[in-house]
Structure 1
Amino acid sequence: MSKSAQARQVPRTPVTLMYRVYKYVLPEVRAELARLRVIAERIPDDELRVQALASMTSKQFHCEGGGIYAAGNLKRRHILVPLIVCLQTISDYLDNLCDRSTSLDPDDFRLLHQSMLDAVDPDAPLRDYYALRAERADGGYLHELVRTCQACVKQLPAYAHVRSYVSELVGLYGDLQVYKHIAKENREPALLSWWEKHRHAVPQLQWNEFAAATGSTLGMFMLFLTASDEGCTPADALRVRNAYFPHVCGLHIMLDYLIDQEEDRLGGDLNFCNYYENQSQLIERIGMIVERARKDVGSLPAPRFHRMVIEGLIALYLSDPKVSGQKDVELVSKRLMRRSPLTRLFFWGNSVLIRKRLYSN
């Protein structure tokens, strides 16, 4: 995959990117979610149905944000959009199930998340992912999500080159979901023990920052986009993996946790922004991750596209209505937005507009 070929595929300016998002990505993401909603509404088990529908309603913007990667190759968006939407929907659905679980069994959480590993393995057989929990009758909903992903990855011309890196990131994601949802007294010890196995690979990060990085799906989505190009090589795949993990992925989830601090406090949920001595250290660490992320994507073809993604992430999360009313978060937001580039301000305005359209429908 030559730099010139990749650069021709992806949008080079914020205006071009948002044109593609409004014209192609958002309508097709919402159409795929509508298809899935029809299936979810037929789920026999009440709890599974509630959580499936809730994940699509409250976390729709996750699919819309991930859909930006489909804007990088419009010719293959018919593969990328359903793949991104279905994998993100598995992630959001299982997160809801584990957050509100009647179980604290790590084996149950591990088996549920095996569905994500199977979804990115075109040869994997379907399994009974609910075998270790009381709620099991989903009417084939989770299998439909897995099958759709498998059918899509089979159509990506260079998937063989990215497959191992996608599976690596999905595996780390599953580990995180297991450790963060077990009994509260066991969460931090499990996460710290896990960190000890990986800290040598990311010595610049603290344990909570590494854990946050594993919670992002953006590296997976960028690898899908990379595999949509016939010219992708194994070296290209490795370059993308290293450019996105850990800093772009870490920024994504640290921002997510930043705006969810009050919500997580009330729900008793673990939040990775709570492991700093003060707000100044939090700002400093997120600022460091931003700069490392910008530097990392400089090695990729069309680096402007990836820098737009970074600025878009910052704008998307810091323009979220959850920010207002949380004084500490407002302070962090103002500090991070200080002297923002025009690109970030452009995406800020678009994030506000998209939310207004979303909640007015």
Structure 2
Amino acid sequence: MEALSLNEFEQGRYLSPRSPIGLMSRVYKYVLPEVRECLHFWRQDAEGIPDPELRKQALASIETKQFHCEGGGIYAAGNLSMRHILIPLIVAYQTISDYLDNLCDRSTSLDPADFRLLHQSMLDAINPKAEPVNYYALRSEQNDGGYLHRLVRKCQEMTACLPGYAAAAAEIHDLAVLYTDLQVYKHIRPELREAALKEWWAVEGKRAPHLHWNEFAAATGSTLGVFMLFLASCDPRLSTSKAASIRAAYFPHLCGLHIMLDYLIDQDEDRAGGDLNFCNYYDNTDTMLNRIASIVEWARKDVQNLPETSMHRMVIEGLLALYLSDPKVSEQREVRSVSKRLMRRSPLTRLFFFVNSRWIRKHMY
């Protein structure tokens, strides 16, 4: 597959959506159908996994976390002329993330070396020259019939088609390393998790000293910074300094908002499953609310200096709308209270995305 010429790229640049209506029209017409087509392909692939446990977790990750790929697919709306690369890339990378999260959350292993080897696949996926290895070597389940390798290869194939990828590769790798570290430390034996995460934060947290350890950890768990850099890599003129500024605009605040909202609505679910939840480390609900509200404001300031600022502001409002409209909110009294307070005096953009999020859940699932 050939990359677009400079002239073709220029013709696609102005297509970046400027308004919520423009963005959602692209989501309905292009993003959702094409993301679901990609997911259908990977679902069929996963059905052929020989090992029953690996097959179960691969299928469950697609069935229960489809909206992760759909949300990530929003970035393909930023350059429709490159969506034939961006959508398969985002879906494959997010599918690896969701599959491995399931494997680690419901793991038959508590070995950090096993978790790190599994997530080496995410580092290999963003390096077109990497040679996939046996990512299951340290666990009993082995035979996925090549499923994870095919996901990695698809990512490598697509990144190789992005004309500006070389300029963004180091920033993408940095975010992927942080993501891998988080997944290792948050899935080890429960009594060791908090200490391991705080020890890690003592080293890496200097990047954002104003964030609490749980907030920094949450920020490393988002793939949105990687997806934005995939979009930026469509530009053959992307420089390393521009890529660094994009990463800084997304990490840690916008990425942190993404995952803190995810944990906010999953509190009951994580409690039942014995999973770590970063919203449980605040002294009280008011503190949690105030910190999330602060992260929202920091994220808004961060994206002001990016080109196509309106799209990034829409991402922030869309995140709030998507998570706060989730049915899980109404089932949790404390979360419902926090949601109402965060939605109070919402701008029209957030309310627009809130209504659309509810409509999509009701009519498209």
TM bucket normalised to smaller: over 0.9
Q: Which residue of 2 aligns with 1:157?
A: 163
Q: Which residue of 1 aligns with 2:172?
A: 166
| Residue of 316, 325, 329 corresponding to 1:323 | 329
| Residue of 252, 270, 276 corresponding to 2:276 | 270
Task: State the Cα distance separating 1:231 from its structure 2 match.
Answer: 2.5
CA contact (8 A) 1:158 1:230 kept: yes
Task: State the Cα distance separating 1:198 from its structure 2 match.
Answer: 1.5
The yes-or-no answer on 1:242 pairing with 2:237 is no
Q: Tell me, in whole angstroms, the C-alpha distance in 2 between the residues paired with 1:315 and 1:93.
A: 25
Q: Which residue of 1 aligns with 2:355?
A: 349
User: Number of residue pairs matched?
Assistant: 357
CA RMSD of aligned residues (A): 1.2
Deviations 1:149-196 (A, max 9, x none): 000000000000000010110110010000000001110110000000
Deviations 1:74-133 (A, max 9, x none): 010000000000000000000000000010000000000000000000000010000000
Task: State the Cα distance separating 1:215 from its structure 2 match.
Answer: 0.2
CA contact (8 A) 1:6 1:301 kept: no
CA contact (8 A) 1:6 1:302 kept: no
Question: For residues 168 and 6 of structure 1, do their structure 2 counterparts lie closer, same or farther at Cα, with a shift above 3 Å needed?
Answer: farther
SS of aligned partner of 1:101: coil
TM-score when normalising by structure 2: 0.96
Task: State the Cα distance separating 1:357 from its structure 2 match.
Answer: 2.6
Q: Tell me, in whole angstroms, the C-alpha distance in 1 between the residues paired with 2:364 and 2:67.
A: 9
Task: State the Cα distance separating 1:356 from its structure 2 match.
Answer: 1.4
Task: State the Cα distance separating 1:6 from its structure 2 match.
Answer: 8.9
| Higher mean displacement: 313-322 or 5-14 | 5-14
Deviations 1:268-314 (A, max 9, x none): 11100011111000000000000000000001001111000000000
| Residue of 211, 223, 227 corresponding to 2:233 | 227
Q: Which residue of 2 aligns with 1:337?
A: 343
Task: State the Cα distance separating 1:9 from its structure 2 match.
Answer: 3.7
| Residue of 185, 207, 214 corresponding to 2:213 | 207
Deviations 1:214-263 (A, max 9, x none): 00000000000000112222221111000000000000000000000000
Task: State the Cα distance separating 1:5 from its structure 2 match.
Answer: 8.7
CA contact (8 A) 1:308 1:343 kept: yes
Q: Which residue of 2 aligns with 1:253?
A: 259
Q: Which residue of 1 aligns with 2:3?
A: none
SS of aligned partner of 1:155: coil
Q: Tell me, in whole angstroms, the C-alpha distance in 2 between the residues paired with 1:314 and 1:5.
A: 32
The yes-or-no answer on 1:125 pairing with 2:142 is no
Q: Tell me, in whole angstroms, the C-alpha distance in 2 between the residues paired with 1:5 and 1:179.
A: 45
* Equivalent residue letter for 1:193: E
| Residue of 34, 57, 69 corresponding to 1:63 | 69
Task: State the Cα distance separating 1:358 from its structure 2 match.
Answer: 3.2
Q: Which residue of 1 aligns with 2:202?
A: 196
* Equivalent residue letter for 1:118: D
Q: Tell me, in whole angstroms, the C-alpha distance in 2 between the residues paired with 1:212 and 1:44.
A: 34
Deviations 1:293-346 (A, max 9, x none): 000000100111100000000000000000012010001000000000000000
Q: Tell me, in whole angstroms, the C-alpha distance in 2 between the residues paired with 1:341 and 1:207.
A: 30
CA contact (8 A) 2:69 2:91 kept: yes
* Equivalent residue letter for 2:52: D
* Equivalent residue letter for 1:286: I
- In structure 2, list runs of 5 or more residues that go unmatched: 1-5
Q: Tell me, in whole angstroms, the C-alpha distance in 2 between the residues paired with 1:67 and 1:314.
A: 17
The yes-or-no answer on 1:187 pairing with 2:193 is yes
- In structure 1, list runs of 5 or more residues that go unmatched: none
TM-score when normalising by structure 1: 0.97
Q: Tell me, in whole angstroms, the C-alpha distance in 2 between the residues paired with 1:224 and 1:79.
A: 10
Q: Tell me, in whole angstroms, the C-alpha distance in 1 between the residues paired with 2:312 and 2:11.
A: 16
Q: Which residue of 2 aligns with 1:144?
A: 150
